[in-house]
Amino acid sequence: MRFALSTEQKELAASVHALLSSADLQAVAARWAAGDHEPGLDLLGRLAKIGVTELAEFPVELVVVFEELGRHAVPGPLIESYAVAPALGITGDLATVALPPHVPYALDADVAAPYVVDGDAVCRAEVGAPLTSVDPARRLFEVRPGEWVGTASDEALDVGMLCQSAQLIGLGRGLLDRASEYVTQRRQFGRPVGEFQAVKHHLANVLVALEFARPLVHAAAVTGDTRDISAARVAAADAAWLAARAALQVHGAIGYTREHAMSWALLKVKALRSAWGTQTWHRRRVLTSLRSR
C-alpha cells in the first residue's frame, strides 16, 4: 500500500509540533507526576483550541497527532480522552477509561472523569487506590464499575491500541532526535562520539526500525483491521524500545537522571510497551488472524 500524508495532515502535524515545542514539557511532566495538573491542563486546553479533540472520526489525523504527542512525551489521559471516550459515546472535556483485561487501571482518574468498561457495559468508575507506575507521569488508579451509562463498542479498544502505536513511534522519533543531537556534543578520544561507526550503526538501526513501523501504523489507521492494528503495535513498540536503549547507551549515565528531559520519554516507552495488550498478545492475535484466512 502506497501511503503519503496530505498537505492538510502535514500542516496539522506541524501545528501540533510547533505548539508543543514552545512548552516546557519536562516541567509539565514533572509537575503532573507530582499531582500538580495546572500546567498540563493548560497545555491540553491549547491543544483543544487547534482542534485535536475533534478528530475521533478521522483515524489518520488521530495518528498524526499522537505521533507528535509521543514525540514530546506529553502526559495525561490523551488516548482515553481523544480516541477511546468518543468511541464509547462518552462526552466531556477530559475522560479516562479502564478496559479490562488489557487496560485494567484508569490513568489520571483524580483529574479526569473516570469510566470503566464492564463486559458490554460502559459504567462510571468508582476510584480506588492509586498505584505505583514505571512512569511517574502515568498515574494509575484502581477502579470499580459504578453507574451504567451506555453500551461498549469493540472498536474502542482497537482505536486505543492504534493511537498508542502512533504515540510509541513519536516517542521513538523524539529519542532518536535527542540521541542524534547529543552524539555531536559528547566527545571521547578528542572526537564527537557520533563520528564512530559503531554509534552511527546503532542510530541507523533505530531509524530503519521506526521507518519500517510508521507505515504499518498509517496503514492500520486506513484499514481499521484488527490484525493490522496489532501488527503495527508490535512493530511500533519494538522500534520505540530499540530507540530507548540506543538513546540511553549514547547518553551514558546522564540519561538515567530525572533531571534530564530524556528520562521522561524513556520511562514512558517502558510503561507503554506493556500497556494496551502485551507484545505476546498482539503477536498471537496476528497469528490467529492469519491462520483463519
Confidence at residue 102, expressed as pLDDT on a 0 to 100 scale: 93
Which helix (DSSP H) or strand (DSSP E) does residue 90 occupy?
none
CA distance 272 to 167: 9
**Domain edges within the chain:** 155-291
Q: Which residue has the higher pLDDT, 132 or 169?
A: 169
CA distance 265 to 245: 11
Mean pLDDT, range 44-48, rounded to an integer: 94
Mean pLDDT, range 74-88, rounded to an integer: 96
Mean pLDDT, range 265-272, rounded to an integer: 93
Residues 22-36: pLDDT tens digits?
Answer: 999 999 999 999 999
User: In the numeric block, which cell numbers belong to residue 172?
Assistant: 521513538
User: In the numeric block, which cell numbers belong to residue 55?
Assistant: 478528530
Sheet with 121-131, strands from edge to edge, namely: 95-98, 113-118, 121-131, 140-151, 106-107
Answer whether residue 1 shows pLDDT above 60. Answer: no
Mean pLDDT taken over the chain? 92
Candidate from 10-14, 184-188, 233-237, 284-288 with smallest mean pLDDT: 184-188
Residues 172-185: pLDDT tens digits?
Answer: 999 999 999 888 87
Peptide bond into 101 cis (omega under 30): yes
Q: Is 95 helix (H, G, I), strand (E, B) or coil?
A: strand
Residues 190-212: pLDDT tens digits?
Answer: 787 777 788 889 999 999 999 99
Q: Is 288 helix (H, G, I), strand (E, B) or coil?
A: helix
Q: pLDDT band at residue 2, thresholds of 50, 70 and 90?
A: low
Residues 247-268: pLDDT tens digits?
Answer: 998 887 776 677 777 888 999 9
Q: Tell me the CATH number of domain 155-291, given options 2.30.30.90, 1.10.287.10, 1.20.140.10, 2.60.40.2310.
A: 1.20.140.10
CA distance 203 to 183: 10
Q: Structure pTM?
A: 0.94
User: In the numeric block, which cell numbers belong to residue 158?
Assistant: 482497537
Confidence at residue 199, expressed as pLDDT on a 0 to 100 scale: 84
Confidence at residue 93, expressed as pLDDT on a 0 to 100 scale: 82
| Amino acid identity, position 31 | R
CA distance 23 to 28: 8
Residues 204-238: pLDDT tens digits?
Answer: 999 999 999 999 999 999 999 999 999 999 999 99
